[in-house]
Structure 1
Amino acid sequence: MMTPERFAQCLASLRWTTIDLTSALQCQLSWIEAMESGEAEIPDDLGSWLERLSACHEAAGIPACYRDAQA
């Protein structure tokens, strides 16, 4: 079972806000916020999906060669 803390960590690694997740799932923002605060349980399938997405993003990393690049 995913904890609210891990839920927030996964969203952060994806660089998603609660609004981004709401848009992706096409659900109510209040439900996402309730999961984030621990007021609602995070469904196992949603937690697993977020874990898989987060792992992919963490493994891929961020290209560093663009830092301080001028347009």
Structure 2
Amino acid sequence: MTPERFAACLASLRWTTIDLTSALQCQLSWVEAMESGQAEIPEDLARWLESLARCHEVAGIPSRYRGLAHF
């Protein structure tokens, strides 16, 4: 997985690097290093992120609720 695809997967999930750090219970510096290309993205992590991102991309976001006020 390239750093660009890594960032695209996080964007599809609407996750920040802090969100991923929390999910993995790891160091933020390691996640930032993967994002910048300074650290290799492990294959199992890449597969997991790809799977989650694909699910989110296929499912999409419901749009009929846009502009409605909910109380």
Class of the TM-score when normalised by the shorter of the 2 chains: over 0.9
Q: How many residues are matched?
A: 70
The equivalent residue for 1:31 is 30
**1:6-25 alignment to 2 at 5 Å?**
6-25=5-24
Runs of 5+ in structure 2 lacking a partner? Answer: none
State the Cα distance separating 1:35 from its structure 2 match. 0.2
User: Equivalent residues in 2 for 1:1-71 (5 A)?
Assistant: 2-71=1-70
Aligned-partner residue type, residue 66 of structure 2: R
Cα distance in 2 for residues equivalent to 1:35 and 1:5: 10
Q: TM-score, normalised by structure 2?
A: 0.97
TM-score (structure 1 length as normaliser): 0.97
Tell me, what secondary structure is at the counterpart of 1:16?
coil
Please identify runs of 4+ aligned residues in structure 1 that moved more than 3 A.
none
**CA-based RMSD:** 0.4
